[in-house]
Amino acid sequence: MAGNAWDAREYDEQFGFVGRYGDALLDLLDPRPGERILDLGCGTGRHAAAMTALGARVVGVDADERMLAKARADHPEVEFVAANATDPGLGSLGVNEPFAACFSNAALHWMTPQDTVLRNVRSVLADSGRFVAEMGGAGNIAALDASLRGGLGDVGLEALDVVANHFPTVGEQAALLEAAGFRVEMATWFRRPTPLAAGTTAADWTRHFRAGTWAVVPVERRDELAEAINRRAVERGLRTADGWSADYCRLRFVAIAAG
């Protein structure tokens, strides 16, 4: 399930900003015609398709079959492969030909253990290969997760699990990258408070990105839980006159596979 039960259509329609914000990463990567590029945690394939259109030979990899099914339907010109980033050698993807680069947007923080994943990426990259990624950074969606936990407590469901993502500081991620065989050329952390789509509440955000928690909430308790989460989110400043927002914090890096 790759940390979440993904609803591919809802992801693109209601939370499409996640992918769109990743578009700027493509400039950092600067994909070149003919290069073999891995899109790790490619989701519904937006960036894999964009890099293919630039002439790169892209392999989009994801662990979630529903995301892959939509990626294949929307972008039949791209090769998509099902693999878990924790699989040794990423399921042997780099055996025949190493990748010149790895791109990853909004996906690495779902992948644990992170040190295993980074070593796997290194193992499929050529020496001097580029690894360009954006992921959740330290403090990412802290207010949203606290609102979910608070809301669960308010309705007596505090025992339910909430998935824990890997949201590192720059220093933590740089140390992991170096230990995995990368030289870090750039790493930066920044806040990205993000307006949610019209009609989407904080509780709706948790329904999508914390679907595993919601799946075990009895159906007849769900409206009550949504109200409790939204109350908590208002207290945490996630609702303004303009609507609901998410307290995203991102970490971007460029790392080079050391020879």
Ligand X SMILES: C[S@@+](CC[C@H](N)C(=O)[O-])C[C@H]1O[C@@H](n2cnc3c(N)ncnc32)[C@H](O)[C@@H]1O
Binding region for ligand X (CB under 6 A) = 2-3, 6, 18-19, 22, 41-43, 46-47, 62-64, 67, 84-86, 105-107, 110-111
Beta-strand pair 99-105/36-40: parallel
> Closest residue to ligand X, Cβ-based?
43
Q: What's the closest the beta carbon of residue 239 comes to ligand X, in angstroms?
A: 23
Distance CA 132, CA 115 (A): 16
Q: What's the closest the beta carbon of residue 111 comes to ligand X, in angstroms?
A: 4
Would you say 42 or 100 has its CB closer to ligand X? 42
Would you say 3 or 181 has its CB closer to ligand X? 3
Q: Is the Cα torsion angle 132, 187, 185, 28 positive or negative in sign?
A: positive
Q: What's the closest the beta carbon of residue 223 comes to ligand X, in angstroms?
A: 26
Q: What's the closest the beta carbon of residue 173 comes to ligand X, in angstroms?
A: 16
Distance CA 258, CA 89 (A): 17
Check: CB of residue 253 under 8 Å from CB of residue 174.
Answer: yes
Q: Is the Cα torsion angle 143, 200, 242, 252 positive or negative in sign?
A: positive
Would you say 24 or 237 has its CB closer to ligand X? 24
Would you say 63 or 101 has its CB closer to ligand X? 63
Cα distances (angstroms) measured from residue 99 to each of 93, 108, 216: 9, 18, 40
Q: What's the closest the beta carbon of residue 2 comes to ligand X, in angstroms?
A: 3
Q: Which residues contact 98 (CB under 8 A, 6 or more apart)?
A: 36, 124, 125, 126, 129
Would you say 131 or 228 has its CB closer to ligand X? 131
Residue-wise burial string across 169-203, b where 16 or more C-beta atoms lie within 10 A, e elsewhere: ebeebbebbeebbbebeebebeeeebebeeebbbb
Q: What's the closest the beta carbon of residue 48 comes to ligand X, in angstroms?
A: 9
Would you say 106 or 177 has its CB closer to ligand X? 106
DSSP bridge partners of 104: 133
